[in-house]
Structure formats: C-alpha cells, structure tokens
Amino acid sequence: MRAWIATLLLAGVGIGVAAAAAPHVISVVEPAASKFEFSLQTRWGQTLLGKFPDGEGDVTQLPDGKRQVHLKLSTNTLEIVDHARYTRFARGPRFFDAQRFPEVTFLSDPYPLGLLQTGGELHGRLRIHGIERRERFVLAPAACSNPGRECAIVAQGAVRRSDYDLDGWSMAMRDEVRFSLHVRLRDTEAQ
C-alpha cells in the first residue's frame, strides 16, 4: 500500500514550503517506528486487534507546496494479535485474500502542510480487496513542533467491510473496521 491509510499522512513540518518544479518524495515512512493497526468487533462485544507489521509509504511535495501521502500495507503478514487461527482466516480467501490482493493502499488528496499541526480530515482513495473507494481519516493535532519526526502523526478512520466485499465472518463480526495509524517519517536526501 504504497499509498495507504494511512494515512499518513504526512509529511513534513520543518521542510520549506517553497514549491518545487516537479513533485518529489520528501519523506518515507519509518516502518519500525510506525504502527498500522485495525480493530474488528464481534457480535458478542469482543474486540479483535489486528496489525499490519509490514507497512511502507512516502510523502510527496507537489508543485503548489501541498503534500500527498501514499501508503502500502501488506496483507500477507497482517496478524490478529494473540489469535493464530483468526490470523489465518483474515489472510485467507474469505477475508483479505492475501494471495490475490497482497496489499491495502491509500493515496491521499493533496493537503496543506498545516494540517499536520492542526489536525483535521484527510481524504483520499483507499484500495482493499481490489476495490477502491473514497474514504476519510482524521488526523489528531500534532503533539510536537515537527510531526512525523519528533512525534508520530496519528490518524484514525473507519470503513465498512461490506464496501470492500470482505464478507467472511459476517455472522460473527460487525461491519465496521476501525484503523489507527501512528506514523513516523524519515526525510529523504533529495529535498
């Protein structure tokens, strides 16, 4: 999900806002310092926490000075925490179908740099299970002066499984999937 939910959006306070001649990547996601999580709730009230341990992405600065984030999350390595059986099912053909659809991606709409400081809505295109839809994530206000580097960029959002044909577990699981992203960035040298 070179583009995923991410969300994350995010890129770069502390980098000059002067527009460049062409779009260029200014930051990349630091996978080891970032968290890409989701939660599902059973019809009996149990919450299952899932993780995408292999997430990557980048932030591009556009000619007008706005930013755009592109995230990619691997479904081949996703896991349901403390539930090996649920992990196998989540990767399997009746849910994420990791063999046919090995990644979830998110490509944000262009956003102003100030969004990372103030927080607010980040819209974009989310692709899950081969289906692409417009979705919205909400960024929390920054907890530091240089979000993504000094502190994580935090984004949350919810989607409906039925919108993406993730119909496995429909009798046992509620339709909503909630995402929680904590993204850390590393600036590229080509700024």
Tokens of 76: 């081949």
pLDDT of residue 63: 95
Provide the domain count of the chain. 1
Domain residue limits at 169: 24-187
| Distance between CA atoms of residues 97 and 84, nearest Å | 16
Within a domain: 68 = yes
pLDDT of residue 21: 59
Within a domain: 72 = yes
Within a domain: 133 = yes
pLDDT tens by residue, the chain, 191 residues: 433 333 343 344 333 444 445 889 999 999 999 999 999 998 888 899 999 999 999 999 999 999 999 999 999 999 999 999 999 999 998 889 999 999 999 999 999 999 999 999 999 999 999 999 999 999 999 999 999 999 999 999 999 999 999 876 777 788 999 999 999 999 996 44
pLDDT of residue 30: 96
- Our CA angle for 189, 149, 66, nearest 5°, is 70
CB 75 within 8 A of CB 21: no
pLDDT of residue 56: 96
- Of 114, 112, 88, 125, the residue nearest 7 (C-alpha): 125
With H, G, I as helix, E, B as strand and everything else as coil, classify residue 31: helix
Query: CATH code at 69?
Result: 2.40.128.110
pLDDT of residue 166: 86
Within a domain: 29 = yes
Within a domain: 124 = yes
Task: List the strands of the sheet with 24-29, edge to edge.
Answer: 79-80, 47-51, 35-42, 173-183, 153-160, 131-139, 120-128, 103-108, 67-74, 55-61, 24-29, 185-187
pLDDT of residue 99: 96
Tokens of 141: 């206000």
Within a domain: 71 = yes
For 38, half-sphere exposure in the C-beta direction (CA atoms, 13 angstrom radius) is 27
Within a domain: 58 = yes
